[in-house]
Structure 1
Amino acid sequence: MSGNLHNWLNLILTPGLGAATIRKLLSYFGSPQQILAASKADLLRCKMLHDETIDSLHNKRTAMETQRQIDQAARQAVTILTWDDPAYPTLLREIHNPPLVIFVKGDPAIIENPGIAVIGARAASTYGLQIAQSLSQELAGQGLTIISGMALGVDSAAHRGALNANGKTIAILGCGLDITYPKQNRGLYGQIAAHGALISEYPFGTPPDGFRFPARNRIISGLALGVVVVEAARHSGTLITAQLALDQGREVFAVPGRIDSVKSEGCHRLAQEGAKLVHSAKDIIDEIKLSIREQSPSIPPVQAPVLEDLSREAQSILDFLDVYPKNIEEIIMATGFPANKINEELFMLEMQGAVVSLPGKQYQRLAEPCKSSV
């Protein structure tokens, strides 16, 4: 680890010294090294710091914590990139208020890959989870890195979709990289570290306090070419990320939902305000003008299930079902078939991957089926 890294970490770990003040000091003194080499008189003369902060810049406690962070990064195979490091992501450096330091667990090289952020509600519907996962799987299958925040709901579904395609995914955390949050995503944390990257601007030991997540969102949008919103309430934090994306000059995409669903109200509002409506991954790829690469054997394309010749009853059931779950009573009323026949046909459709059963005797259509030509 270089002395330059030590200087950057010393600054961000100094109590009472925030990122905005560090930037002003850099403008005044020129570099982290020159800030730390400045005398107390010089630091007082710039009129940016209190006496207590100046003392903290050079005390042994800050120096010891800086070294502890560097040592922990080495033990946990974490790369620390500073704002002036050539390996610091180009897109992120261009945003307003980029993080001065980022901690990266996984492959730092994928940060420069073209990426799309897929974000949305934590308490997502089955529809939202399915769309987030399938869109991410298709986009990752075309070589795009999927970026999200590893929260429950849409974020987790997006990461899993990318992993299902043997693609790359990046999770931006609102805490230190030594903390798994939420705890339910411990397994996902390990998968992302192995097949992508986990990124945080926060030092080891930083807890997942609520106020850190809005700041984290600027990194999600900052690393991406565009942001896809899958389910968001009208006043959700997801819309903050969408606004940040617009401020950063990124494309914003909205997935439509039911007009009576509060979970889709934010997406519909974005569409009214000019966001691009998304019906498929191709809509996103076309908009950002990326050429679709030739499909690699290591990244299989996403395919709809191929169904054998369907019975009249099975086709009627499939025509009635859509991506919103239906309970068994609704299916009986809509088709007029007896319960035993419907259960039989649903079982066969489920075995062919066209339908999934959900709690409460509900069923959902998974994808647009393709009839077999055999």
Structure 2
Amino acid sequence: MSHHEEWNEEEFKAWLAFACVPGFGLRAVQRLAARDALSVQLRDIQKRGGGPGLNASQLAYLCTQAAKDVEACLRWREQSSQRAIITARCATYPPLLSEISAAPPVLFVEGDAGVLLQPQIAIVGSRNASSSGLEIAAQFGAQLAEQGLVVTSGLALGIDGYAHDGALNAGGDSVAVLGCGLEHIYPARHRRLAGRIAEQGALVSEFRPSARARAEHFPRRNRIISGLSLGVLVVEAAEKSGSLITARYASEQNRDVFVIPGSIHNAHSTGSNQLIRQGACLVQNVGQILDEVANLLDWSLKSQQTVQSELFSHPNQQEQLPFPELLANVGEEATPVDILASRTHIPVQDVMTQLLELELSGHVVAVSGGYIRKGRG
């Protein structure tokens, strides 16, 4: 992961080509990348018409269609400064998402890609929800946004749309993960909402921009909704619903699953209540969600306030934070030492020495997977 240096346009295009190969995930692309420069391998495959670890249809795709698709992706990106293509090699790829088992090798983003690095809570639920369910989705969306959290969902009709809308109306940021390319907003009824999200957050898809909505894409995009988030709130889910797929992904990914309980007489809540029986966290207000994710959020939400209050109350303490450059790169997500070294251009050995001092002085904490910033409140 820490070879950002050799990453040039040709290597980027090759990564994009392999990422577009049908049935190819991040791990497959990474395995190839570990072997040799992807651009070299791609040229070989196109010259010889063959290559290791690829089946006939994948090879055919790389030799015929891939170059056109890559060009189309780059043209899409060029059309607006608000568009980005983020590969799993970019420093801007969301670290929480990179932890999931089937992480997407590439993300197409319209809006502010930086929002993907902020703490998110997903809100999901039924497409044909009850009016009280819709009201709850909008209310929780707004309250989470007021607490500084990004509200993430799937732009579907029903609960998703109301959750996005609630967050936007409260002046917060929202992220919509689509089951199609960003040139085809689906459902069409949510075009205007999608436009607002692109202005106040980001639209995201793992599918290249020209890809049409297909039924099998939607269950897949659910793993990204939960993968980006600290936890998933299920507002209303019938017995067999997409939200249950998202909840299942969330628990496989070690994310919190929160559920609004429903009446036993309401078919809309059968799936929700079942999740609670299986151990999901029953919540009745936003405070209960915040309590559960508090330690993960501690640093990110408090840091702005504490830095300001410390500036005024303890001028001496604040004069010089130790190793400010390294500290600025440690956040509420566990960051491995080699990533910190590549971001700061400080040799690994020095990074480790500085981290040890920062740990002793209570600025950072070692956790599994790296280091996190400690809230100093």
The TM-score, its normalising length taken from structure 1, stands at 0.73
Structure 2 equivalent of residue 131 of structure 1? 136
Structure 1 equivalent of residue 52 of structure 2? 46
User: 1:290-343, CA deviations, whole angstroms, 9 ceiling, x for partnerless residues?
Assistant: 3465999xxxxxxxxxxxxxxxxxxxxxxxxxxxxxxxxxxxxxxxxxxxxxxx
CA distance in 1, matches of 2:137, 2:200: 19
User: 1:163-212, CA deviations, whole angstroms, 9 ceiling, x for partnerless residues?
Assistant: 11100100000000011111111110110000000000001111111110
Give the 3 Å change call, closer, same or farther, for CA 227–167 of structure 1 in structure 2.
same
Q: 2:19·2:26 contact (CA, 8 Å) conserved in 1?
A: no
Give the 3 Å change call, closer, same or farther, for CA 294–124 of structure 1 in structure 2.
farther
The one-letter amino acid of 1:6's match is K
Structure 2 equivalent of residue 372 of structure 1? none
Equivalent position SS for 2:269? helix
Q: Does 1:215 align with 2:220?
A: yes
Give the 3 Å change call, closer, same or farther, for CA 34–21 of structure 1 in structure 2.
farther
Q: How far apart are 1:272 and its partner, in Å? A: 0.8
Give the gaps of 5 or more residues in structure 1: 297-374
Q: 2:261·2:283 contact (CA, 8 Å) conserved in 1?
A: yes
Equivalent position SS for 1:63? helix
Q: How far apart are 1:49 and its partner, in Å? A: 2.8
Q: Choose which of 6, 14, 19 in structure 2 pairs with 1:12.
A: 19
Q: Choose which of 155, 178, 183 in structure 1 pairs with 2:160.
A: 155
Give the gaps of 5 or more residues in structure 2: 1-7, 306-377
Give the 3 Å change call, closer, same or farther, for CA 252–31 of structure 1 in structure 2.
farther
CA distance in 1, matches of 2:304, 2:263: 33
Q: 1:143·1:293 contact (CA, 8 Å) conserved in 2?
A: no
Q: How far apart are 1:288 and its partner, in Å? A: 0.6
Q: How far apart are 1:53 and its partner, in Å? A: 3.7
Overall identity of the aligned pairs, in %: 38
Give the 3 Å change call, closer, same or farther, for CA 30–241 of structure 1 in structure 2.
farther
Equivalent position SS for 2:133? helix
Structure with the higher helix share, 1 or 2: 2
Q: Choose which of 182, 187, 196 in structure 2 pairs with 1:191.
A: 196
Give the 3 Å change call, closer, same or farther, for CA 175–49 of structure 1 in structure 2.
same
CA distance in 1, matches of 2:130, 2:115: 31
Equivalent position SS for 2:166? helix
Structure 2 equivalent of residue 68 of structure 1? 72
The one-letter amino acid of 1:49's match is N
Q: Does 1:175 align with 2:183?
A: no
Equivalent position SS for 1:117? strand
Q: How far apart are 1:27 and its partner, in Å? A: 6.3
Q: 2:223·2:250 contact (CA, 8 Å) conserved in 1?
A: yes
Give the 3 Å change call, closer, same or farther, for CA 48–134 of structure 1 in structure 2.
same
The one-letter amino acid of 1:74's match is E
- For the aligned residue pairs, the C-alpha RMSD in angstroms reads 2.4
Q: How far apart are 1:64 and its partner, in Å? A: 2.7
Equivalent position SS for 2:284? coil
Q: How far apart are 1:40 and its partner, in Å? A: 7.0
CA distance in 1, matches of 2:58, 2:284: 53
Structure 2 equivalent of residue 144 of structure 1? 149
The one-letter amino acid of 1:132's match is A
Q: How far apart are 1:259 and its partner, in Å? A: 1.4
Structure 1 equivalent of residue 83 of structure 2? 78
Equivalent position SS for 1:217? helix
Q: 2:18·2:29 contact (CA, 8 Å) conserved in 1?
A: no
Structure 1 runs (4+) greater than 4 angstroms displaced = 39-45, 291-296
Structure 2 equivalent of residue 338 of structure 1? none
The one-letter amino acid of 2:79's match is R
Q: Does 1:32 align with 2:38?
A: yes
Structure label with greater radius of gyration: 1
Give the 3 Å change call, closer, same or farther, for CA 27–186 of structure 1 in structure 2.
closer
Match runs of 1:1-374 below 5 Å: 2-14=9-21, 16=22, 18-19=24-25, 22-23=28-29, 26=32, 29-38=35-44, 44=50, 46-50=52-56, 53-59=58-64, 61-76=65-80, 77-289=82-294, 290-291=297-298
CA distance in 2, matches of 1:65, 1:42: 20
Give the 3 Å change call, closer, same or farther, for CA 161–47 of structure 1 in structure 2.
closer
Tell me how many residue pairs correspond in the alignment.
293
Give the 3 Å change call, closer, same or farther, for CA 83–24 of structure 1 in structure 2.
closer
